[in-house]
Amino acid sequence: MAVKNYVLVCGGSACESAKGNEIYKSLLHQAENQGVSSDLQIVKTGCFGFCEKGPIVKVLPDEAFYVEVKPEDAEEIISENIVKGRMVDRLLYKEDSKAEFKAEDIKFYQKQERIVLRNCGLIDPESIDEYIARDGYLGLEKALFEMSSDDIVNELKKSGLRGRGGAGFPTSLKWSFTQRVESDQKYVVCNADEGDPGAYMDRATLEGDPHSVIEAMIIAGKCVGADKGAIYIRAEYPLAIHRLEIAMAQAREKGLMGENILGTDFSFDLEIRLGAGAFVCGEETALLASIEGKRGMPIPKPPFPAVKGLFGKPTVINNVETFANIPVIISKGGDWFAEYGTEGSKGTKVFALTGKIKNSGLIEVPMGTTLREIVFDIGGGIPGGKKFKGVQTGGPSGGVLTDEFLDTPIDFDSLLAVGSMMGSGGMIVMDEDDCMVDVAKFYLDFCVEESCGKCAPCRIGTKKLYEILEKISQGKGEMDDLDKMRDMGAAMKKASLCGLGQTAPNPVLSVLNTFEEEVLEHIQGGKCRSGKCKDLVQYTVIEDKCIGCTVCARKCPVNCISGERKVAHVIDQSSCVKCGACYDSCKFGAILVS
């Protein structure tokens, strides 16, 4: 019997963790039970991006887009949608209380342009045939049979592709450096050591479309004359590793990787290297050291890895998203790619949208899309009617963009100009309940932890900055702390050995520039307006409102609230831990936060 329906189940990490695999199994089981298993094909795909509403199940060709599916819903999906051809209304995504069954009609998808994620959520990442069906390995075919090395570099140059790891270095230049060096051995390395808090673009790409990265690395090998490559990926991405291994085995079996690819005299093979999850290993020289089996620490550049990289040999090193762009650039041409984006930044960018936002998830937009479109149109705005405060981009290397930058088109250069950076693409949205001192402290804490300790500006600088922020958050800050932080930040930027230390002060400097008033409030007024800095908060009972119900006293974890029944209670400030339990539990609004 012919297949009539395709049921796509999201197999990204977010949906998997919400029982995606159980849904997949119970769909298979139900299809079997209801005698329709030969009528349909159930496919586990990569991330759909709409993680907020996951797990997602999509039925084709009906285009039914089901959200927040549970394993027990499988029975109804099969019996209604597959057997009877009726959509399961209660599971369809609803926007403004109107059922939107098609993905294209959902606002979340309308402003997106999917190049990197072209196959994510569409194909089974564990099937090379499905990848090939979507023009997979067409780029490799062209690169092997129709193009010279120079042609490939020129195509990349035309496309204007810049490295998606954060710094935005032109990819064509990087490749041409390695291509031009004479050497008996060259390497291609993929940086999949994604470490920014809140970022998971590369993870989703590898989980949803591993072949796109593999194909690009083979093309890179052909271009620069390398026959070996490695994918450096953190061990905490088990699903991505698993799917990469499957994809590599399939490519080898089909003769798309290994000896004499497609019958030509070009050979290329890959291996996976697991990292232990150190943030500094995302820095290219530290990453290469880690692959070599040494401690992951950066070395001064130049020489750049393009000339002297892995085991001292010329090495092309790009990140996952950069590679994922390349097969389509080669197959459709650099001019096609250059139609997307802005003057200086071509193509699209994938962002992981998280924080105080209605539709968190994975999005891909053309460069030049404004922050407003991302946060309010795609992201659906801030939940709970709260006020937008800012977006942190670029993770621990970036800064905060406030509402005055909502209409700035986002690309590599515009973000740098306003004191943040693209970074790898994490976007954390903050509302009025977030304290900027606290946010800066969070990122510095991360950097203190992740600094490799090799150079003093980073090792000592991050720690000292953290200590000052800690002081400010306790209300013990002094006015000259502001200048101290600025001076130290400037020194770290200049003197640190690698990107980690050079950019570590960015979140602090950005907060000092854009939210100075709020920092001053902490120092001069001893006050934290959002109540995040615990030491500056005081909980007291409003006597008139307290009816003596004793709920707060029972909830208090340290028993510091005392009082008789039906008599106003009192909080003992000396032993209060400021957990806020009393505030949350009081039904009469009798707890005052100040």
Partner 1 sequence: MSKMTLEDLRKLRETKKQEAAQRDSDGKDSLIIVGMGTCGIAAGAKDVLDVMLDELKKAGNDNVIIRQAGCMGLCHVEPTIEVRTPGMPDTIYGKVDAKVAKDIVNIHIIDRKLVNEHVYDKPAADIIK
Near partner 1 by CB under 8 A: residue from 253, 404, 467, 572: 253
Q: Which stretch binds partner 1 (CB under 8 A): 251-259, 266-274, 288-296, 536-544?
A: 251-259
Q: Tell me the two tokens of residue 103.
A: 């993905």
| Residue with smaller CB distance to partner 1, 5 or 345 | 5
Q: Least distance to partner 1 from the beta carbon of 158, Å? A: 25
| Residue with smaller CB distance to partner 1, 262 or 577 | 262
| Residue with smaller CB distance to partner 1, 42 or 278 | 42
Near partner 1 by CB under 8 A: residue from 17, 32, 63, 538: 63
Q: Does 265 bind partner 1 (CB under 8 A)?
A: no
Q: Does 126 bind partner 1 (CB under 8 A)?
A: no
Q: Does 84 bind partner 1 (CB under 8 A)?
A: yes
| Residue with smaller CB distance to partner 1, 263 or 300 | 263
Alpha helix stretches (DSSP H) within 392-505:
412-417, 436-450, 456-473, 480-495, 499-503
Q: Tell me the two tokens of residue 517.
A: 């008033």
| φ, ψ dihedrals at 240, nearest 5° | -65, -40
Q: Which stretch binds partner 1 (CB under 8 A): 213-221, 258-266, 457-465, 474-482?
A: 258-266
| φ, ψ dihedrals at 97, nearest 5° | 55, 15
- Tell me which residues in 93-122 interact with partner 1 (CB under 8 A): 122
Give which of 212, 268, 209 is closest to 45, Cα–Cα: 209
Q: Which stretch binds partner 1 (CB under 8 A): 1-9, 18-26, 316-324, 337-345?
A: 1-9
Q: Does 137 bind partner 1 (CB under 8 A)?
A: yes
Q: Which stretch binds partner 1 (CB under 8 A): 130-138, 303-311, 417-425, 507-515?
A: 130-138
Whole-number Å distance between alpha carbons of 512 and 90? 48
Q: What is the total count of residues that contact partner 1 (CB under 8 A)?
A: 37
Question: Which residue is it, tokens 């903050």?
Answer: 430
Query: Which residues touch 50 (CB under 8 Å, ≥6 apart)?
Result: 56, 67, 106, 108, 109, 359, 361
Q: Which stretch binds partner 1 (CB under 8 A): 49-57, 134-142, 313-321, 543-551?
A: 134-142
Q: CA-CA distances (angstroms) from residue 278 to 196, 237, 295? A: 11, 13, 11
Whole-number Å distance between alpha carbons of 52 and 67? 9
Contact 323, 189 (CB under 8 A): no
The residue type at 575: S
Whole-number Å distance between alpha carbons of 576 and 372? 41
Element holding 191 (H helix, E strand): strand 187-192
Q: Does 256 bind partner 1 (CB under 8 A)?
A: yes
Q: Does 417 bind partner 1 (CB under 8 A)?
A: no
Strand partners, 350: 364
- Tell me which residues in 468-527 interact with partner 1 (CB under 8 A): none
Q: Least distance to partner 1 from the beta carbon of 116, Å? A: 19
Q: Least distance to partner 1 from the beta carbon of 27, Å? A: 16
Q: Does 263 bind partner 1 (CB under 8 A)?
A: yes
Whole-number Å distance between alpha carbons of 49 and 496? 36
Contact 400, 430 (CB under 8 A): yes
Give which of 142, 124, 146 is closest to 134, Cα–Cα: 124
Q: Least distance to partner 1 from the beta carbon of 87, Å? A: 10
Q: Does 262 bind partner 1 (CB under 8 A)?
A: yes
Q: Which stretch binds partner 1 (CB under 8 A): 4-12, 167-175, 379-387, 418-426?
A: 4-12
The residue type at 369: T
| Residue with smaller CB distance to partner 1, 63 or 236 | 63
Question: Which residue is it, tokens 């291609």?
Answer: 188
Q: Does 133 bind partner 1 (CB under 8 A)?
A: yes
Whole-number Å distance between alpha carbons of 410 and 398? 14
| φ, ψ dihedrals at 181, nearest 5° | -75, 140
Task: Provide the 3-class DSSP secondary structure of residue 420.
Answer: coil
| Residue with smaller CB distance to partner 1, 260 or 538 | 260
Near partner 1 by CB under 8 A: residue from 25, 114, 157, 254: 254
Q: Least distance to partner 1 from the beta carbon of 141, Å? A: 6
Near partner 1 by CB under 8 A: residue from 62, 373, 521, 535: 62
Alpha helix stretches (DSSP H) within 258-333:
284-291, 320-332
Q: Which stretch binds partner 1 (CB under 8 A): 137-145, 273-281, 282-290, 409-417?
A: 137-145
Task: Provide the 3-class DSSP secondary structure of residue 318.
Answer: strand
Question: Which residue is it, tokens 């051995």?
Answer: 185
The residue type at 538: Q
Q: Least distance to partner 1 from the beta carbon of 431, Å? A: 37
Task: Provide the 3-class DSSP secondary structure of residue 41.
Answer: strand
Buried b (16+ CB within 10 A) or exposed e, 506-518: bbbbbbbebbeeb
With DSSP H G I counted as helix, E B as strand and the rest as coil, what are the percentages for the chain, rounded to 5? 45, 15, 40
Q: How many CB atoms lie within 10 A of CB 387?
A: 9
Q: Does 589 bind partner 1 (CB under 8 A)?
A: no
Q: What is the CA radius of gyration of the chain?
A: 27
Near partner 1 by CB under 8 A: residue from 1, 182, 494, 594: 1
Near partner 1 by CB under 8 A: residue from 96, 97, 98, 145: 145
Tell me: cis bond preceding 303? Omega within 30 of 0 counts. Answer: yes
| Residue with smaller CB distance to partner 1, 208 or 298 | 208
| Residue with smaller CB distance to partner 1, 258 or 380 | 258
Q: Does 246 bind partner 1 (CB under 8 A)?
A: no
| Residue with smaller CB distance to partner 1, 258 or 333 | 258
Q: Least distance to partner 1 from the beta carbon of 38, Å? A: 10
Region label for 534, one of left (φ > 0), alpha (ψ between -120 and 50) or beta (otherwise): alpha
Q: Which stretch binds partner 1 (CB under 8 A): 46-54, 77-85, 224-232, 528-536?
A: 77-85
Near partner 1 by CB under 8 A: residue from 32, 72, 89, 129: 129
- Tell me which residues in 27-46 interact with partner 1 (CB under 8 A): 39
Given the rule CB under 8 A, which residues bind partner 1?
1-6, 39, 60-63, 83-86, 122-123, 129-130, 132-138, 141, 144-145, 253-256, 258, 260, 262-263
